[in-house]
Structure formats: structure tokens, C-alpha cells
């Protein structure tokens, strides 16, 4: 793998010497830490949901906002963050994001009530939006060769897999020993190490000052996504026939249409609709959305299932997630080689189908179902995710020219995080009704299987039509 970690600077704004292998490796390590800390705060927070509820009060809807505030800000700002990296340089923007994320984590740990925690989670999500696309832009800048880039993305994704796996276990242990606030303090040393590695070893990307920031489009994206998430979460608490819930859906639709109208006419749009004329780009973005609806929606439901239905402690819940999330790492590392052998679209379709099969096999769960009876199905779901993410990411990045790599990475991650918002909001609403948790969990699994099979069909048909 070391031979692949050559930091090629063909896209740099000024010519310079080729960096050492060590420098390239540590640059990749810094980018991996940036993505890892973003993923860590998904699983580690899910493990703490019951403890946060007991400490700060609130029911399922408040817990949905603790999770969704992060992902809404992540999804809404990620496109602007990618464009900002293209404009002034991905390295300096990435470092700013790491610093903000670290400070916001400290604010989460000190939150005196649920409202303050939700607000701090919004800031965390904003910083996460900065980190992810710019880490990918720096990798795309460093690895010009498609095969080397695919393997580097595999390592980048593997770092996030380690965080996903360690998050529940570490979080459960910290909650048992110290309390839920400690889960946010873990981010402080990671942030400091990532900032130093980036400053010391990463090379700046080409600056494109002509790329402007689309403020009206940014505001419309926040309003549309926030309205949609609010309507879905409110539907679980108030009923989907409630006037305010209906108004939320209508507002989301109207603002969403205005967003598209704005982006079609803006000279420097936040979301260049022209990117979607490339069939593979459009389909990979869609697959990213559908996969996250299923995966992260189910993680939210399973966290509540383990703790509130089966009575697991936070530490036991963390242990329960370890096999599921731990399966992602080795498959992430294997995925680029599978894609080289059978092609990226076939690998993505196989991963989505595998995850769908795991969801269907889990439909027998009920109150009191033993963990051993569901462990294999959970591992299968995660193996499918691990198989599809690296080729999905590399395929989308390879479908656009390098100067647009930041915005392309932003589109993929915006659609994925939008899927996370929708999954948590929808599935949380399905299980929020009194006495309806198991029925809601079954409905969530059926919906997940359907969207995953839809994702597999979409990528397979797109590959056939372009071959």
C-alpha cells in the first residue's frame, strides 16, 4: 500500500518537488482522521441516547433532534463547504473545519439542557460539512491515478469504519465510567492531532477565486431540509394529519422547488445542476441518499431497541454494535480490489443487495429477541455498506473534472447526509407511537430493504445504459 501513497502535485498552483512517501502517508492519515471524527459522532451519540434523555429530559422527538441537528447542518452546508475549498484552497478550509468541530464538541460536553446540546450539535454538523468534502478534495489532488485514488479512498473510508466500530464500545464505556458528556471530549485529542498533521504535511490545492458562494441557495437548502425533517419528526409526535406537520411538508416542497429554480439560474450555483447531466454522477448521488436512509435510520432504531425495549445498558449497547460496525473495515479495504475485478457499478449493486438481504432476514425481531439471533443479519447489513462506499465515492469523483472535485464530493456527502436525516426522522416517527415500537421497527426494515434494492437496480441499469 505504501507504493500507492505518492502525493502527486500535478494540480498544484505552483510547481514543487514531489513529497516523500512518509509525507503522503501522513497526509492520508490526517484526511482519514477528519472523516473518522465525523463518523465517530454518529455512533457514539446513538449509544448515549437513553442517557441523554434521562439527564436532560425529553422523548423520542428530542432525541431525533439531537441526531438530526447534526446531520441537517452537515447536509445543508456541505455543498458550500466544498465550493469554498475550491475557491480558497481545501487545506485552509479543512483546518478551519477541524478547529470548529473540536470547539463545538467541547460545547456539547458542557450543554446544560437539550436545547443547548441541539444547538452545539448544529455547529458540529456545520464543521463536519467542512471536513468531509475538503478531505476528499485533498485526496483527489494528491492521487491523480484512478487506481491509486480508489485505494486511498478505501483507506480513508476504513478510518471512518474504525471510528464507527470504536464509537459504541468507547462511548458505552465512557458513559458507564464518567457519564454521557465524556463522549464529546474524545474529539479533542483527535482534533488537535488532525490539525497538526494537516498543517505539517498536506499540500494546498489550486485556488479558483472565480468560484463564488451562493448564499440564497444555501439559505434555501437549510430551510427546505429543516422543514422536511421537522415535518417527519413532528408527524411521529403529533400525527401526520396535524396541520403544522402538513404545513411543514408543503413548505419543504415549495422551498425545494425555489432552490432548484435558483440553482438553474444562478451564475455560480451552490449545486451546479449541469453535473447531473452525467448519468453516473446522478445515479451515484441517488444511491448515496438511498443507502443512508436505510443504514443510519436503522442505527437510530436499533439503539433505542437495545436500550428501551431489551433493557441493555449503554455499555452493552456499545458491545452489541461492535460486530455490526466492525465488519465495515475489512470490507472497505477489500472493496477497491473487488471493483477492479468486476467493475465499480457491479460492486455497488452487490453491496446494496447484500444489505437488503440482511434487512429482510431481520424481520423476525420482537421484544426480547436474543442478540445472537440477530447478530449475523446486522453484520450482513454492514458488509454491504462497506462493499459499496469506496467504489461509490471513487466513481463519483472520477466522473467530474478535478477543479470541481470539491463540489462533487460535497454533492455525494450532501445526498448521503440528507438520507441520514430522512432515515432518522422517518424511522424515528414510525417507532415513536405508544406500543408501536416493534411494528415501526418492522416497517423500517421493509422500507430499508426496498430502498436498497432500488439503489442496486439504479446503478446496474445506469452501468448497462452507458456501456
pLDDT at 406: 62
Give the contacts of 397 (CB within 8 A, at least 6 positions apart). Answer: 136, 140, 149, 153, 405, 408, 409
Secondary-structure percent of the chain, ordered helix, strand, coil, rounded to 5 = 80, 0, 20
Structure confidence at residue 24 (pLDDT): 65
Mapped onto helix, strand or coil, the DSSP state of residue 13 is coil
131 and 251 co-located in one domain? no
The Cα-based distances of 245 to 200, 230, 429 in angstroms read 50, 8, 12
- Do 323 and 417 lie in a common domain? yes
Q: Is residue 371 part of a domain?
A: yes
Q: Are residues 236 and 352 in the same domain?
A: no
What is the grid cell recorded at 443? 416497517
The domain in which residue 255 lies consists of 218-266
- The CATH number that applies at residue 422 is 1.20.1250.20
pLDDT for 408: 75
Is there a single domain that holds both residue 95 and residue 49? yes
Residue where a domain terminates, one of 229, 251, 266: 266
The pLDDT assigned to 123 comes to 95
Spatial distance between the Cα atoms of 98 and 193, rounded to a whole number of angstroms? 10
Total tally of structural domains belonging to the chain: 2
> Nearest to residue 413, comparing CAs of 3, 75, 48?
75
pLDDT, averaged per 10 consecutive residues of the chain (467 residues), comes to 33 40 73 87 81 80 84 82 79 91 94 90 92 82 70 76 76 86 90 88 69 78 85 77 88 91 83 81 90 91 88 86 81 87 91 95 91 92 90 81 68 82 87 78 94 94 77
pTM of the predicted model as reported, rounded to 2 decimal places: 0.77
Q: 134 with 42, same domain?
A: yes
What pLDDT score does 442 carry?
93
Contact status, residue 404 vs residue 133, Cβ threshold 8 Å:
no
User: Would residue 191 count as lying in a domain?
Assistant: yes
Amino acid at each position: 500500500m505504501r507504493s500507492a501513497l505518492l502525493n502527486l502535485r500535478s494540480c498544484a498552483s505552483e510547481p514543487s518537488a514531489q513529497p516523500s512517501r512518509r509525507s503522503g502517508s501522513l497526509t492520508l492519515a490526517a484526511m482519514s482522521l477528519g472523516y473518522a471524527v465525523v463518523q465517530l459522532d454518529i455512533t457514539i451519540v446513538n449509544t448515549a441516547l437513553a442517557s441523554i434523555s434521562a439527564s436532560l429530559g425529553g422523548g423520542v422527538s428530542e432525541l431525533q433532534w439531537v441526531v438530526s441537528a447534526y446531520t441537517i447542518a452537515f447536509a445543508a452546508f456541505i455543498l458550500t463547504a466544498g465550493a469554498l475549498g475550491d475557491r480558497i484552497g481545501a487545506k485552509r478550509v479543512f483546518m478551519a473545519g477541524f478547529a470548529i468541530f473540536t470547539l463545538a464538541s467541547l460545547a456539547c460536553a458542557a450543554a446544560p439542557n437539550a436545547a443547548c446540546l441541539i444547538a452545539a450539535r448544529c455547529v458540529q454538523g456545520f464543521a463536519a460539512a467542512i471536513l468531509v468534502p475538503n478531505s476528499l478534495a485533498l485526496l483527489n489532488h494528491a492521487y491523480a491515478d484512478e487506481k491509486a485514488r480508489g485505494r486511498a479512498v478505501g483507506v480513508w473510508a476504513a478510518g471512518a469504519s474504525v471510528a464507527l466500530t470504536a464509537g459504541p464500545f468507547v462511548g458505552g464505556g465512557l458513559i458507564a465510567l464518567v457519564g454521557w458528556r465524556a463522549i464529546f471530549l474524545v474529539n479533542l485529542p483527535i482534533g488537535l492531532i488532525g490539525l497538526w498533521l494537516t498543517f505539517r504535511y498536506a499540500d494546498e490545492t489550486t485556488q479558483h477565486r472565480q468560484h463564488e458562494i451562493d448564499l440564497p441557495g444555501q439559505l434555501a437548502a437549510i430551510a427546505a431540509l429543516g422543514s422536511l425533517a421537522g415535518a417527519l419528526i413532528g408527524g411521529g409526535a403529533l400525527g401526520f394529519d396535524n396541520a403544522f406537520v402538513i404545513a411543514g411538508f408543503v413548505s419543504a416542497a415549495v422551498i425545494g422547488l425555489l432552490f432548484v429554480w435558483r440553482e438553474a439560474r444562478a451564475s455560480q450555483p451552490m449545486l451546479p445542476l449541469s453535473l447531473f447531466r452525467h448519468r453516473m454522477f446522478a445515479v451515484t448521488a441517488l444511491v448515496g441518499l438511498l443507502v443512508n436512509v436505510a443504514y443510519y435510520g436503522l442505527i437510530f432504531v436499533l439503539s433505542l431497541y437495545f436500550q428501551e425495549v431489551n433493557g441493555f445498558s449503554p455499555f452493552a449497547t456499545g458491545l452489541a454494535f461492535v460486530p455490526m460496525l466492525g465488519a465495515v473495515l475489512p470490507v472497505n479495504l477489500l472493496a477497491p480490489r473487488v471493483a477492479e475485478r468486476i467493475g465499480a457499478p457491479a460492486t455497488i449493486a452487490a453491496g446494496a443487495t447484500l444489505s437488503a438481504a440482511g434487512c429482510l432476514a431481520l424481520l423476525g425481531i420482537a421484544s426480547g429477541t436474543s442478540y445472537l439471533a440477530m447478530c449475523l443479519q446486522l453484520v450482513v447489513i454492514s458488509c454491504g455498506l462497506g462493499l459499496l462506499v469506496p467504489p461509490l465515492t471513487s466513481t463519483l469523483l472520477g466522473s467530474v473534472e478535478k477543479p470541481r472535485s470539491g463540489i462533487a464530493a460535497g454533492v455525494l456527502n450532501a445526498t448521503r447526509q440528507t438520507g441520514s436525516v430522512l432515515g432518522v426522522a422517518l424511522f424515528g416517527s414510525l417507532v415513536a407511537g405508544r406500543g408501536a415500537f416493534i411494528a415501526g421497527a418492522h416497517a423500517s426494515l421493509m422500507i430499508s430493504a426496498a430502498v436498497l434494492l432500488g439503489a442496486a437496480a439504479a446503478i446496474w441499469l445506469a452501468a448497462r445504459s452507458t456501456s
